[in-house]
Amino acid sequence: MVTSEEIKELITLAEKSKENSYSPYSNFKVGSGLLIEGGEMFGGCNIENISFTPTVCAERTAIFKAISEGKTELKAISVITDDDQPSSPCGVCLQVMAEFASDDFELILAKDKDTYELYKLRDLLGRPFRSSRPIGQKQRSI
Ligand code: THU
């Protein structure tokens, strides 16, 4: 379980990361803070593109930074926006979380340091896409 001290730190990191948001098309700044087992943290912001589809969300930026540094034990993530209520990660980000984190992965959806909602991944993504069969296996010919 994430501690209340870690929650405060993750929200502070998300707020700081939000300042780096590159969002000239939506004007919707998002910041995220990711906690790795052992205590290391990675920040992330949304990064948009004039061609729109290459846009990446704050949560995926933080997760991909961690994974690319070999840190795969994800414990909790915070998200903050300028909206007047806490925002949930989009479905794509939740699916990326499901790839690397357990269903107990904790999400801190923050409005500010003192106003946040705490969820587990299973609350927000009830049935992630997973396969019992190795993906990439050749289809049997009919
Ligand atoms: N966005 C995020 O960064 N995280 C989310 O979970 C939802 C949306 C970004 C993508 C885009 O830059 C902007 O918010 C508006 O959709």
Comparing CA positions, the residue from 123, 117, 119, 125 lying closest to residue 106 is: 119
pLDDT (0 to 100) of residue 142? 65
Pocket test of ligand 1: the residue of 26, 97, 121 to mutate, having most ligand atoms within 8 Å of its CB, is 26
Active site members: 59
Sort residue 38 into left (φ over 0), alpha (ψ -120 to 50) or beta. Answer: left
Reported confidence tier of residue 30, pLDDT bands at 50, 70, 90: very high
CATH architecture of 4-124: 3-Layer(aba) Sandwich (3.40)
pLDDT (0 to 100) of residue 45? 99
How many CA atoms lie less than 13 Å away from 71 in the CB half-sphere? 18
Distance 102 CA to ligand 1 centre (A): 23
Distance 114 CA to ligand 1 centre (A): 22
Range list of H helices, 22-77: 58-68
Reported confidence tier of residue 139, pLDDT bands at 50, 70, 90: low
Name the residue ranges covered by the structural domains of the chain: 4-124
Q: State the average pLDDT for the chain.
A: 95
Least trusted range by pLDDT, from 26-35, 67-76, 104-113, 130-139: 130-139
Beta bridge partners of 77: 34, 107
Ligand 1 site, residue 55, Cβ cutoff 6 A: yes
Distance 22 CA to ligand 1 centre (A): 11
> What does the pLDDT average to over 82-109?
97
Supply the pTM of this predicted model. 0.94
Q: What is the pLDDT of residues 48-93, one digit of tens each?
A: 999 999 999 999 999 999 999 999 999 999 999 999 999 999 999 9
